[in-house]
Structure 1
Amino acid sequence: MKAHTYETQSTITPQKALDFLKEGNQRFVNNLKANRDLLEQVNATREGQWPFAVVLSCIDSRTSAELIFDQGLGDIFSIRIAGNFVNQDILGSMEFGCNVAGSKLVVVLGHTKCGALKGRLDAAQIEGMGMDNLNHLINHFDPIINDVIEQGEERSSKNSVLLENLNQQNI
């Protein structure tokens, strides 16, 4: 498979972009990766990039969008942040991907057993460990936790029902 050009990107609709991702995911699931020449893709994208989609996902090492959707260099903008949440910086990156670079689709890729959500549920364990930036990041999950948690429900990552509900709500 070859990297997209301006001409090929300009003909892609949002539905076609979604189809590309679904087809790639089916290849991934069936362990039938597309045949790509990495050096050719590097050379083809040297002067510019024409990705057809923006994918927001977690930094979890098990959820690489390029692998899960079987895409090559220059095909997608991959935005990664622990817990795959949106803030102004992430929105700015999405705006760049769509409005400047011409991507046709935005996908939010969630996953189960998210360590960032677990970390917020078990925040007492990491408070006081000198990880102020991590604490700031996981505080973004408080609104979803407050929406999902039932009064009197255990606020812990050991509460598998709560964690699954939070994972679903966070997508």
Structure 2
Amino acid sequence: MNKKKYILLSLLLFGLAVSCKKENRETQSKVSSHVMTKEQQDKLTGEAVLKDFMEGNKRFQDEIVNVRDHTKHIGKLVTGQFPKAMVVSCSDNRVSVDDIFDQGLGDIFEGRVAGNFVDEDVLGSIEFACVVAGARLVVVMGHQHCEAVKAAIDNVRFGNITATLYRLRPAVNISLSFSGMKNSKNNEFIKLVSENNVRIALNDIRTKSPILKEMEDNGKIKIVGTLYNPAHGTLEFVK
């Protein structure tokens, strides 16, 4: 086989492989018309929702997420909401919570703020999600390459962002025993600070909200921490 024919054959095989992969994703993806009802929510447990979310994240990584028509779903949610979970995440536009967990409209009660910290307002939102709206799972989700964490490491100060970043300083301070370079250019240090920030948020939920702590102790809700990697779409648990 001459070189020209070999190149043409290689291109043809590559095209077939790409086409098959795309067809496989489209075949496995499903069009979902489901919207959570009160009856279905009542049967959920925090553990079951967490399993559902991790399976959804695997679909997200494999590019076989469910296809949803939100214009049809929104009408079904006008009279009420029955979320599976409350997710506290960063407001970073690379962190799309519904997509990351492959969940539909109405499935997640979201609290988004730069740096995914927990203050009085966020605590109130979590309590509303769990006590009033019936969410069974609380997820605090930090993420790698977080610009808010980087700014906190650099001790950035201007406008109202000064007060926002002040909320992240405790995570920076407890990470100073790190043996490597402690600056915003070291991804390992950024990751450690992001993980510690999630740990602080988890602790704040449990110590500053007796309501949520009691619900967790009684098995009514499950509270977990995660760290999302935008580069790969993967999640790590943070304890």
TM-score, normalised with respect to structure 2: 0.65
The residue aligned with 2:138 is 106
Higher relative contact order (CA 8 A, sep 6+): 1
Give the number of aligned pairs: 166
Tell whether 2:128 aligns with 1:115.
no
Q: Distance in 2 between matches of 1:22 and 1:144?
A: 26
Higher strand share: 2
Letter of the 1:145 partner, please give it. V
TM-score, normalised with respect to structure 1: 0.90
| CA-CA distance at 1:145 after TM superposition | 1.3
| 3-state SS, counterpart of residue 71 of structure 1 | coil
Runs of 4+ in 1 over 4 A off after TM superposition: 151-155
Tell whether 2:109 aligns with 1:77.
yes
Tell whether 2:173 aligns with 1:139.
no
| 3-state SS, counterpart of residue 85 of structure 1 | coil
The residue aligned with 1:32 is 64
Q: Distance in 2 between matches of 1:24 and 1:10?
A: 21
| CA-CA distance at 1:154 after TM superposition | 5.4
Q: Distance in 2 between matches of 1:35 and 1:65?
A: 15
| CA-CA distance at 1:48 after TM superposition | 0.8
Q: 1:90 to 1:27 in 2, by over 3 A?
A: same
Structure 1: gaps spanning 5 or more residues: none
Q: 1:151 to 1:52 in 2, by over 3 A?
A: closer
- Summarize deviations over 1:59-82 as a string: whole Å, max 9, x none: 111111101011111111111011
Superposed CA RMSD in Å reads 1.8
The residue aligned with 1:51 is 83
Q: Distance in 1 between matches of 2:183 and 2:85?
A: 35
Letter of the 1:135 partner, please give it. T
- Summarize deviations over 1:117-171 as a string: whole Å, max 9, x none: 1111222xx43xxx32101000111212111113997553123332221122122
Q: Distance in 2 between matches of 1:160 and 1:35?
A: 34
The residue aligned with 2:183 is 156
Q: Distance in 2 between matches of 1:44 and 1:19?
A: 25
Q: Distance in 2 between matches of 1:88 and 1:16?
A: 28
Please say if residues 56 and 79 of structure 1, whose CA atoms lie closer than 8 Å, have aligned partners that are also in contact: yes
| 3-state SS, counterpart of residue 32 of structure 1 | coil
Q: Between the two proteins, what is the percent identity of the paired residues?
A: 39
Q: Distance in 2 between matches of 1:139 and 1:11?
A: 40
Q: 1:132 to 1:31 in 2, by over 3 A?
A: same
Tell whether 2:211 aligns with 1:168.
no
Please say if residues 149 and 162 of structure 1, whose CA atoms lie closer than 8 Å, have aligned partners that are also in contact: no
